[in-house]
Amino acid sequence: MKTPCARSAALTVLILLTGVFSVSAQEGEKGIEFFETKIRPVLAAHCYECHSAQSDKLKGGLKLDSREGIRAGGDTGPGVLPGRSSESLVLKALRHEAKLEMPPKKKLPASVAADFEKWIAMGAPDPREAGASTGYKRMTPDEARQFWAFQPVKATAAPKVKNTVWSRTEIDRFILAGLEEKRLVPVADADRRTLLRRLSFDLIGLPPTPEDIAAYLNDKSTDATEKVVDRLLGSPHFGERWGRHWLDVARFAESNGNADNTPFPQAWRYRDYVIASYNADKPYDQFVREQIAGDLLPAGDSRQRDEQLVATGFLALTSKPRAQNNPDYLMDLIADQVDVTTRGVLGLSVMCARCHDHKFDAIAQKEYYALAGFFESSTMLAGVGRQPNNKKQPSGAGGLHELSDGSQSMGVKDSKPTDTALCVRGESQKRGDRVPRGFLAVTHTTPVPEVNRAQSGRAELAKWLADAQNPLTARVAANRVWLHLFGRGLVGSADNFGALGERPTHPALLDHLAAAFMQQGWSTKKLIRTIVLSRTYQLASTHAATAYATDPDNTLHWRMSPRRLEGEPIRDAILAISGKLDRTPPGKSLATATGNNAKRPVYAISESNVRSIYLGIARGAPLPEVLALFDMANPNIVVAQREVTTVPTQSLFLMNSPWLVKQAEAFATRLLEEKTASDDARVNLAYQMTLARLPSSAERDAALTHLRQWTQTPNIAPEKAWASLCQVLFATAEFRYVQ
Amino acid sequence: MITGDSDMNPHPLFHSRRDWLKTSACGFGYMALAGLTTEAAARDGVLNPLAAREPHFPARAKRVIFMYMRGAPSHVDTFDYKPNLKSDAGKSVGQLSGQVQDRNRGRKLLPSPFAFSQHGKSGLWISELFPHLAQHADDLCLLNGMHTNVPNHPQSCLMLHTGEFRFTRPSLGAWALYGLGTVNQNLPGFVTLNPPGDLGGAQNYGNAFLAASHQATRIGEEGGAMAAARIGNLQSPLTASRQREQLDLIQSMNAGLLRRQEVNPELEGVINSFELGFRMQAALPEVLDLAKESPATLQRYGIGKVGNNNAGNKDKAAAKKTAAGGATENFGRQCLMARRLVEAGVRYVEICMGNWDTHSGLKGRLGTLCNSIDQPMGALLVDLKQRGLLKDTLVVWGGEFGRTPTGQGEDGRDHNSAGFSMWMAGGGVKGGQRVGATDDHGSIAVENKMHHHDLHATMLHLLGLNHQKLTYRYGGRDYSLTDIHGRVVKEIFA
């Protein structure tokens, strides 16, 4: 695909939203006035009959009734070349030059031609929109201003509820109000074992140990749950769980993919930066600013400077297309940077506007290029860098940031500041006017930051993105936190808050959370803490017929939805239980590029028992097996919410994978090492370790029967029989779901 | 025979299943049921949402092979002969509206660099790019009046596969499976070979709100070699009876969880997927083992070396030639696997060929692409016919949209969703005809227009399903593949 978004439809290059392009706004207004008084009347009176969308018989393929049409021209070439009067065919025709005589039967006065000459010299300012349509309605600027997602975040008090005793927190009152409106009641609270398992997986991606369970069950204090939550939030494993959510958004991978799959041997530093940021509870606004413009932000010391340079890896981790024979190469790179920035931070798909005004959202093509300028003024540092083994370097791989300790990292740095010329229909060879660097009008902050034109302007872009007044940033972030704790965001389309996205099920709650998030210093940990201590989060996942009939998707939160774990916590939990989990961060990349072709190496994923987030992720190479089977995010695209599939290949893995059998054997060895324990006690322990609960007596009997069946057969050692039982526990649906 | 909405509602089935799970006494024990291991019990439909079911009305087609051409192949260079492109070369496309106008604006009509000629008794015009396929002209029904909404790959790929691009909806194959079930309970009912990882990815063969067991089993991924595509972990380290004991214990725990949760379609999908996985261990390697085919057959499909084949020396030499990056290798394997899968009773098979997005390099790339699919497609049609399968196997070929008749540069064509071509063969379709037409240059569909929605309605109809009655109640609304759209294009029926 040449471009990612439709390149069709009305090429409406209108200046939609006043104030967007502050630099040229005044001049623009004058030009448009000139157009309206001197140019448009002439076109309408003398040209439209044969050269407009309404013409019965269009002549020469030329339409003069839109800005795009007059510029693109017809069969003989472009009609108007802004700024180049003498070369513009429309003017030649008016003057009856070059065998062109228009209008056909009469020559218009020389003063008209002079007006056209002046107008073209001004850059041919033209506010007209083309009339074509695809049948889908685009949001008007007015509608955009009214659209929920672009309204300022407004914290409101929780609504009144009839049941005044149920709620524990503000969140609960918002939820309960929604339930009461539909005459539904929430189910009972989850028991402590269920809640602990849920919290443990949600916050650190690992199951609770039998000791954790005992401690929580025996803690009779009123703040027992708070203590558990604070312990989990303080764990270094927290960043390994929540950092992965962000890496999905950041389309993190350790090789380029595409035609030239060069390695990114330094990408792991960005991975570790993300994990450390979540562990340190770095304010989210700062986290965003560092990734967009860390190289331009002030730094107190060299450590902070290094950290900020590494952060800009966010803009460099893309899968680059091949540069050769690709005139669009630079614009393709920029498209990815615009996408990861806008969809990643704002939950808005701006990429469509690369080729035309956004079909549905009020985002003009010009605004896309206003953003593109920040990145065209920057250099992407995605090189291979110095290699310890002195291997041959692929040519043209680009540079890297130099860090204070002599190491290197991916990222971006400023290059010559420039504004990007609009690409007509997204084609880099067909350039329009340069669009001053600027921001999206739909997400205005007041005042709009003034772009530092001596730099790339990314510092201002970062400021604008992470501004408390930006209506999207906090909402999108809060919604994702909700998504990862409930399995569904308050806005179901976590990466599309635009016109085609879903509307929030609880808009006031979303704003309440977004406002609280910002008030509490953009602290992700505090936001999580607030949510998981709500009664809503702590509900059981039990079925209720009436509520299910009304709301099968549980959008109203009458219960906790059972959720399938992602591949990472499934694998990490298995390793934790088998005793094989290596909890030490490797501090390096585990993706190894081998082979003779530096541009197209073969990637080997080293077998390792580290947490899944550290496993090597090379594009175009197989992803680590468990992760791939259980719907890992595609590292080529921005993913806010993963899919959940249920397929027989997963069952085959659970039944037959040599890796899983090995883990089950290690788990069995652990159980059998409990020398003094009875088989009953071992079964209990196995259940506690995998499911955080004790077996029912029927379940215990079934387990013991299974062991007997196997050990009574000659040649099956007790270890094997126990390993089979352990594998069964790993394979159950209950193990990979949080209830 | 199923005649109306109520019968198509899957809920009674799940209720009885759930009731059974609730009432089944101690320990569960799938073995005791003999159930999911024997076809008879599996077919009774009480246990298995994939049990074969009668259609709404007598079906013309019982199974589908869908050849998806990812990237949108050019119709005016393949199956939509436009002599006017030559006579009007260099002219503009004329007055059109909307996206068609935009895409063609300022561009000149580009004649096809490929010659067309007439084939078969029917005299269908087919490009020189398909010498093998053209021999089956009298079996082909060219759909020359296709159109869809958005000239943009991700949206239209989803539209083609699910009838919707804004929301997650079940794939066409999942709907077919939902409506008809599948006859071989030891194989997945819906298989996709080498699907694209992008353009909506798994959503294109997903179940959305239908039971999870309706989604396709994927083998390989587009861009990868079909020969290397594997379903991992098919080999059990245990004997069959030991493994069954182990699985019984897993399933009894799963059933216990389902009893406690009362309603959980996802969990039912898990339970089913274990049984399917268990049976697939034996059945799938057998079906996918191309070494079971004769060297002559492999050669006809343009497949080179196959693992264990016992080809003679002469064949080996020939095989070596094609194996070394043979152009037909990848699609040949897909076509042959598709034949083996439908023969074995798989309801819906999708295969895929990518890279049709010829913005540039039209002449060279199109030649290469067509060359890599032509011989395998011809071989597939021959095999289906020889086995008596073509009459009730619907073969469908096409991409998400087509391309502009004007040139993009000297040697490329842009996206065009206003007019393009697909074709069908077998499955109750009348061959040797073309249905629908584009205008003089192939810009827009003008005659007997057929939207993606109409394609879906027509395909379901051929499968004996009424697209308006094949509904699923979800979140308080009845959903169907075609929503409020869809016209059954009866002109194509035999």
Block residue for tokens 């406690």: B260
What residues of A are in contact with residue B246 (Cβ under 8 Å)?
655, 706, 724, 727-728
Mean pLDDT across A470-475 = 95
User: Measured between CB atoms, which of A58, A655, A699 is closest to B95?
Assistant: A58
Task: Please state, in angstroms and rounded to a whole number, the distance separating the CA atoms of residues A78 and A55.
Answer: 19
| Cα of A493 to nearest chain B Cα, Å | 9
Q: Hey, how many other C-beta atoms are within 10 angstroms of the C-beta on B188? A: 34
CA-based nearest residue in chain A for residue B361: A325
Provide the whole-model pTM: 0.73
pLDDT of residue B16: 35
pLDDT of residue B209: 77
Task: Please state, in angstroms and rounded to a whole number, the distance separating the CA atoms of residues B59 and B394.
Answer: 11
Kindly state the percentage of chain A with pLDDT values over 90: 59
Q: B33 vs B37, B102, B240, B319, CA distance in Å?
A: 9, 63, 17, 48
Average pLDDT, chain A: 87
Categorize the per-residue pLDDT at A129 as very low, low, confident or very high, splitting at 50, 70 and 90.
low
Domain chopping of chain A, boundaries? 25-135, 238-469, 567-644, 652-738
Pairing verdict, β B190-193 and B217-219: parallel
Residue B87 has pLDDT above 90, yes or no: yes
Q: Hey, how many other C-beta atoms are within 10 angstroms of the C-beta on A545? A: 9
Mean pLDDT across A426-440 = 89
Task: Please state, in angstroms and rounded to a whole number, the distance separating the CA atoms of residues B162 and B453.
Answer: 9
Interface test with B, best of A248, A359, A650, A655 (most B CBs within 10 A): A655
Chain B within 8 Å of A7 (Cβ-Cβ)? yes
pLDDT of residue A391: 52
Phi/psi at A388 (5° precision): -60, -35
Categorize the per-residue pLDDT at A389 as very low, low, confident or very high, splitting at 50, 70 and 90.
low
Residue A286 has pLDDT above 80, yes or no: yes
Chain A within 8 Å of B256 (Cβ-Cβ)? yes
Amino acid at A181: E
Say yes or no for a CB contact (<8 Å) between B474 and A8.
Answer: no
Say yes or no for a CB contact (<8 Å) between A706 and B475.
Answer: no
Phi/psi at B373 (5° precision): -110, -20
What residues of A are in contact with residue B103 (Cβ under 8 Å)?
7-8
Residue B28 has pLDDT above 50, yes or no: no
pLDDT of residue A525: 98
- The token pair at B148 is 């869809």
pLDDT of residue A4: 34
Chain A within 8 Å of B493 (Cβ-Cβ)? no
Per-residue model confidence as pLDDT tens digits over B201-248: 778 998 877 876 788 988 988 888 898 887 879 889 899 889 999 999
Say yes or no for a CB contact (<8 Å) between B102 and A132.
Answer: yes
Chain A within 8 Å of B241 (Cβ-Cβ)? no
Residues 6+ apart with CB under 8 A from A433: A82, A123, A421, A422
Chain A within 8 Å of B346 (Cβ-Cβ)? no
Domain B44-235+287-492 = CATH 3.40.720.10: yes
What residues of A are in contact with residue B278 (Cβ under 8 Å)?
651, 655
pLDDT of residue B230: 79
Identify any residues that bridge with A563 across adjacent strands, giving them in sequence order.
Answer: A738
pLDDT of residue A460: 96
| Cα of A713 to nearest chain B Cα, Å | 10
Q: Is the C-alpha dihedral spanning A565, A566, A570, A572 positive or negative?
A: negative
pLDDT of residue B232: 79
Per-residue model confidence as pLDDT tens digits over A674-686: 888 899 999 999 9
pLDDT of residue A137: 58
Chain A within 8 Å of B267 (Cβ-Cβ)? yes
Domain chopping of chain B, boundaries? 44-235+287-492
Say yes or no for a CB contact (<8 Å) between B91 and A706.
Answer: no
Q: Which residue has the higher pLDDT, A148 or A386?
A: A148
What residues of A are in contact with residue B26 (Cβ under 8 Å)?
698
Q: Is the C-alpha dihedral spanning B396, B397, B401, B405 positive or negative?
A: negative
Query: Please, which residues 241-280 of chain A have a Cβ atom closer than 8 Å to chain B?
Result: none
Interface test with A, best of B149, B167, B273 (most A CBs within 10 A): B273
Q: Look up the ipTM and state it.
A: 0.79
pLDDT of residue A642: 86
Residue A14 has pLDDT above 70, yes or no: no
Residue B39 has pLDDT above 50, yes or no: no
Kindly state the percentage of chain B with pLDDT values over 90: 63
- The token pair at A605 is 């994923």
Say yes or no for a CB contact (<8 Å) between A655 and B247.
Answer: yes
Say yes or no for a CB contact (<8 Å) between A8 and B242.
Answer: no
The shares of helix, strand and coil residues in chain A, as percent rounded to the nearest 5, are: 45, 5, 50
What residues of A are in contact with residue B71 (Cβ under 8 Å)?
1
Mean pLDDT across A477-488 = 97
Say yes or no for a CB contact (<8 Å) between A733 and B155.
Answer: no
